[in-house]
Amino acid sequence: MVEDWLANAYGGLSRREFLASIGAAGVGLAGFAVAATPVAGKVIRTPAEDLVIAETSVSSGGFPVPVYEARPTAAGRYPVVLVIPEIFGMHEHIRDVTRRFARAGFLAVTFEPYAREGGVLHLPDIAATLKVANAVPDSRVMGDLDAVTAYAARHPSARGERIGVTGFCRGGLYTLLFAAHSTALKAAVPWYGQIRPALTPGVRTFGPLDVADRIRVPVLGLYGGADMGIPTGDVKALESALVKAGVTAEFVVYPDAPHAFFADYRPSYRADAAADAWTRCLAWFNRHLKA
C-alpha cells in the first residue's frame, strides 16, 4: 500500500512513470528536466537574479548537512523561514520555493534531510524511497533542524530572533514536530503534513497530535480535502487541540485539493488552491515574523 503522502500525489502514475513523463533525466538534486507534458506547463521557475544565493553545509552530529539559502540583495537583516523538503529532499522545486520566500523579503534556508543516505532521488521507485526515508529517526531530523536553526540565527543577514518554519508532505510532519521541539521559533506553516503517522520504535514514537500541547507558536495548517491519506477529521482534531492549548491556530482545508496540491511539478498540483495557500502562508509569516 502506498503511504499517505503519495496516495494521490501522482494522479494515478507510479513514481517511475511520472519521472519518465517529464524527461529522461527525471528529477535530480540539481534540478529536473521538463518535457512537453501537462505538468511541464505549470512548473513555476523563480529566477535567482536580484537574490543572494549560497550553498554551504552545517555540521549536525559531526556530519556536514547540505544547505541552500536565498535572500534579497538589499543590505539589511531579514526574518528567517526554514523550508523543510518533502520526502524527495532538496531538489529544484524546494530550492525554487526557497527563492520565492527570498523574493517575499525573507532569508530562506533549506537543507537535505537524506544526505547521509546519499539522497533518494536516484532511487528507482516509491518502495525504495520509502525504505530509506522511513528508517530516518525523527530525532535525527530534529537535530539537523536545530543545527540549521542555529546557523540561520547567527547569519549576518538574519533577524535571528524572528524564525519561522514551513514544510511540505513529510516536511509538513517535521514542521509540526519541530514546532513542538524547538523554542527558537515564532511561527509554523505545515503543508499537508501527517497528523497521525505510523509509529515505529526507534524511528517515530509520537505524532503531531500527541505533542500538540507542546506547541507554543502560531500555526497555519494548509491541507487538501481530497487527500486520501490525511482525513479532514484529523486536521480538525489538531486545530482543536492547539486552540484548546491556547495557541493561535488556523487550519485551511481546500475541499477538492489532493495531497501535494502545491507541488507544481506533479499531477496533484491545483493552481487555485496553491495560489490561495501561498498568499495565506506569506501573510502568516509577515504577521508573525516581520512585526
Report the catalytic residues.
Answer: 169, 227, 259
* Sequential DSSP letters for 38-83: TTGGG------TTEEEEEEEEEETTEEEEEEEEEESSSS-EEEEEE
Confirm if 99 and 93 have CB atoms less than 8 A apart. Answer: no
Confirm if 227 and 190 have CB atoms less than 8 A apart. Answer: no
- Selection from 15, 97, 36 nearest residue 266 by Cα: 15
Q: What is the DSSP letter of 255?
A: T
Confirm if 91 and 170 have CB atoms less than 8 A apart. Answer: no
Q: How far apart are CA 40 and CA 23, in angstroms?
A: 10
Cα dihedral: 281, 283, 288, 289 (round 10): 80
* Sequential DSSP letters for 169-232: THHHHHHHHHHHH-SS-SEEEEES--SSPPPBTTTBS--GGGGGGG--S-EEEEEETT-SSS-H
Q: How far apart are CA 145 and CA 250, in angstroms?
A: 24
Confirm if 264 and 37 have CB atoms less than 8 A apart. Answer: no
Helices 170-181 and 138-153, packing angle to 10 deg: 70
